[in-house]
Amino acid sequence: MKILAAFLIVASQGPRNLLTGGLSEQSLAAALIPVAQWHPYPTIQDRAEWQGVPQEIRAGFIREAQQYLGTTWERIPATVTLQYIRSGNRSNYDALNTRQREKLATLVFAEVFENQGRFLDEIADGIWAICEQTYWGSTAHLGMQRAGTGLPDVTEPIVDLFAAETGALLAWTDYLLGDRLDEVSPLIRKRMRAEVDRRVLTPALQRDDFWWMGFGERKNINNWNPWINSNWLAAVLLLEADPPRRTGSVYKIMRSLDNFINIYPDDGASDEGPGYWGRAGASLFDNQLLRSATNGTIDIYRAPLVRSMGQYIYRVYIKDQYFIPMGDASAKLTPDAELVYQYGKRIGDPVMQGFGALLAQRRGPYRPGSSSPGRILPALFVAREIATAQAAEPLLGSVWLADLQLMAARSTPNSGVGLYVAAWGGHNAQSHNHNDVGNFIVYGDGKPVLIDLGVETYSAKTFSSQRYEIWTMQSAYHNLPTINGVLQAAGREFQAKNLSFNETANRVTFSADIASAYPAAAAVQRWQRRVTLDRKAPALELEDKYELKQWKEPVRLNLMTPLSVDTSKPGAVHLGGRYVLTFDAHELHAAAEAIPITDEHLRSVWGDRVERLVLTTQGTALRGSYRVMLREAK
C-alpha cells in the first residue's frame, strides 16, 4: 500500500533557470548559429526533402489551396472589433483573424510542394492584406494597451498570442519561399520584415511590462508565455539580421521562459487543464528551435520536469476523445498527434510516442488547417515515421499528481472497460479557474456518467470580474455540495486541505477537507470528502463527513450527468438505464432538473441537454455524513 500526501514544494525551491542558469548571454552569442547559416528545415529550393513528404499530404495541401485562388482577403471592420466591448462577442473577430492566417499558411505550403509559381500572386495578396491589417492580435486582448479595450492604438503595438503567431507565420513564409516572393515584387519581403519588426520584434525586445513575460509583479503566468515566446523566437531567429540584437532577443526569450518553468510544479501538471496543454507544455516544446539554433548547446529535454510536462497529456487521458476536463478545458480533445509523438521521442518515452502514433492513426493523413508553420513543418517531416510507428493507448491504472492534487484510477488497469474515476483538490485561483475544489467525475467504459461540464464559448464575461456569474464556473454545477445555500468562492484562500491518496490492489481513495473552499457565510467547520474506486465491485463510493457551525438550510449535493435520470425509486437513482446511484433514502432525497444547452461549444460536447441531480439532506444536525455509491445496474 502506498499513501502520498500533497505538499506544494515549488515555493521552497530556488529558481530552476533551466535555460539561463548555466549559459550567459555571451556564451549564447558564441553558440548561436548566424541567421544566414541556420537551416532548420528545407526551403522551396530543397526539392528532394519536399518530395519525401507523402504524396497524399502534398496533394491535400494543393487541393485545399486551389480553393483559395481568386478569393477575397477579408478585412476586419472597426465595428466587428468593437463587438467585444459592445456585446461581449469576440468570436466573430477571432474567426476572421484566424481564417487569414490559415489561408496564407495553406497557400505557402501548396506552393512549396508544387513549386510552379501558381500560388505566388495569391500569397502576395495574403501577405499584403495581413500587413495592412491594423492589429494582428485578438480584440479580447486589447486591454494590454494603455488606451484599453475597444479599437487598437496603432501608436502602441502590443504583443499578444496572435500578434506573435502572425509574426512567426510571416517569418516562416519569408524563409520557405525566399526570393520566389521577389519575382512578384522585391518590396513584399521588405514590407513583411518591417511589419514583423514594428509589431513584434521591437516591442517585445524593448518592453518588459507585457505580463506574459513574467518580469513584472504578476508571477502567475500561464500558457501565454511559451506560446508567445515560441513564435517570437521563430521570428527573431529567421528575420533578425543584427547579431547583437538577435542574441539579446533570444536571451530575453530564454529568461522569460525560465520564469514560466520556474513556477511549474514538479509533477509537470497544468492547472489550466489538458485543453491548454497544447499551448503550455507543448508550446514549451515548440521552443526546441533553441536546440536547433545552437547546434544542441541548449537542450532541456533531459530535465525531469520537462519530461513530466509532456507526460501530463496522457496521464489525464480517459478514453477516445475524453480527457479530465479541469477548469476551462473541454471534456473532448484531439491533441496534436505529431507533437505528442515528437515530444515523446525527444524525452525517450515510448508510451507518449505510442499515444502520438495512435492519435495519428485515428485521424488519418496530416491535413491543412493550421496557421502555424512552426508546427506544420515538423509534422510533415515525421509523417512517414509516425505512420509506421507502433500505436499504443495509455490506459494507466492510476495517476496521482501531488502538486495539482489530482487522482485518477481505473477499475481495470490497462483497459478502457469498467469505471474510471478522477477527483481533485487544488484552490480557486488556478489559471482558467472554476470554483470546483473537491470535484470528481466518473466514466463507464470510456463514456461519461458524472461529468465536469467544461466552459462555454469565450466572451467578454469569461475573463472579467463577472466570470463567476457564468453557471459553468459555479460549484453548484459541479459534483459538489451547496452548504447552507452557499457556493464555493473564488480566490487563493479557498482551497482543499488535509489531502491524501491511498492505493491498494482493490481500492483507490482520494480524501480532502474542502470546507475552506467555501466563504464564511457557509458556516462550515469541516467537510471531509472521500472518493473511492472499489475495483473489485466495481463501484464508486462517495462519502462526505461534515461539521457545521450553524444550520441554515439543508445541504444540496449536486451531481451533473449527460444521461437520463430516473428518481422514481427512493434511495436508487438510475442513470441512462445502465448505472444506479444508491444512498440511504432516510438521509437524502433525490430530485432532478434538465438543463438545456444553448451554447454551441457545450452542445458539441454534451448535446442539447444535461441533467443536474440534487440529493438534499434531511434533518438539521450540525454534524453528519452521507454515503453515495455508483455502480452498473444489475
What percentage of the chain reaches a pLDDT higher than 70?
98
**Burial annotation 199-226 (CB, 10 A radius, 16+ → b, else e):** bbbebbbeeeebbbbbbeeeeebbbbbb
Average pLDDT over residues 460-488: 97
> Are 402 and 305 in the same domain?
no
Residue 618 within any structural domain of the chain: yes
**Co-location of 298 and 434 in the same domain:** no
Helix 161-177 crosses helix 187-196 at what angle (to 10 degrees)? 150
What pLDDT does 370 receive?
85
- Residue 483 cell numbers, joined: 452548504
Q: Which residues touch 290 (CB under 8 Å, ≥6 apart)?
A: 19, 233, 250, 254, 298
Say what the pLDDT of residue 14 is: 75
Average pLDDT for 392-414: 98
Does 556 reside within a domain? yes
The tens digit of pLDDT for each residue in 171-221 reads: 999 999 999 999 999 999 999 999 999 999 999 999 999 999 999 988 889
DSSP string, 135-149: --S-GGGGGGSTT-S
Q: Give the SS3 label for residue 403.
A: coil
pLDDT at 1 over 50: no
Residue 408 belongs to a domain? yes
Q: What is the DSSP letter of 332?
A: B
* Contact present, 404 and 481 (Cβ < 8 Å): no
For residue 41, is it within any domain? no
> What's the CATH number where 624 sits?
2.70.98.70
299 has pLDDT over 80: yes
Q: What is the pLDDT of residue 103?
A: 97
Q: Please, which residues bridge with residue 420 across strands?
A: 410, 443
Phi-psi region at 571: left, alpha or beta (left = phi > 0; alpha = psi -120 to 50):
left
Residues 6+ apart with CB under 8 A from 39: none
* Position 12 pLDDT exceeds 60: no
Rounded to whole angstroms, how far apart are CA atoms 600 and 343?
A: 32
Nearest to 324 by CA among 442, 223, 500, 479: 442
How many structural domains are present in the chain?
2
Task: Compute, in degrees rounded to 10, the torsion defined by CA atoms 409, 411, 417, 420.
Answer: -40
Average pLDDT score, the chain: 96
Q: How far apart are CA 248 and CA 232, in angstroms?
A: 13
- Same domain as 427, residue 299: no
Q: Are residues 259 and 407 in the same domain?
A: no
555-614: pLDDT as tens digits: 999 999 999 999 999 999 999 999 999 999 999 999 999 999 999 999 999 999 999 999
The answer to whether residues 408 and 514 belong to one domain is yes
> Is there a single domain that holds both residue 302 and residue 440?
no
112, 44 in Cβ contact below 8 A? yes
User: Does the structure show a pLDDT above 60 at 281?
Assistant: yes
Q: What dihedral do alpha carbons 357, 361, 365, 368 form, nearest 10°?
A: -70
Do residue 547 and residue 439 come from a single domain? yes
Judge if 281 and 420 occupy the same domain: no
Domain containing 303 equals 23-36+210-309
Q: What is the pLDDT of residue 13?
A: 54
**Same domain, yes or no: 286 and 415:** no
Q: What is each CA distance from 313 to 90, 96, 210, 322, 393, in whole angstroms? A: 28, 30, 28, 11, 12
Q: How far apart are CA 296 and CA 55, in angstroms?
A: 32
Q: How far is Cα 405 from Cα 500, in angstroms, rounded to an integer?
A: 9
The verdict on 470 and 570 lying in the same domain is yes
CA 346 to chain centre: 21
Q: Is the pTM of this model over 0.85?
A: yes
The separation between the first and the last C-alpha atoms of the chain, rounded to the nearest angstrom, is: 31
From 277, 309, 341, the end of a domain falls on 309
**Burial status of residue 399 (CB atoms within 10 A of its CB: 0-12, 13-18, 19 or more):** buried
Same domain, 273 and 409: no
User: Which residue, among 109, 110, 54, 58, has the nearest Cα to 386 in the 3D structure?
Assistant: 54
Residues 6+ apart with CB under 8 A from 521: 484, 486
Q: Can you name the residues that pair with 561 across neighbouring β-strands?
A: 611
Of 258, 291, 309, the last residue of a domain is: 309
574 within domain boundaries: yes
- Look at residues 268, 294, 309 and tell me which one is the last residue of a structural domain: 309
Report residue 68's pLDDT band, with 50, 70 and 90 as the boundaries: very high
- Do 526 and 626 lie in one domain? The reply is yes
Q: For residue 268, is it within any domain?
A: yes
Structural domain contains residue 259? yes
Q: Please calculate the CA angle 217-222-225 and round it to the nearest 5 degrees.
A: 85
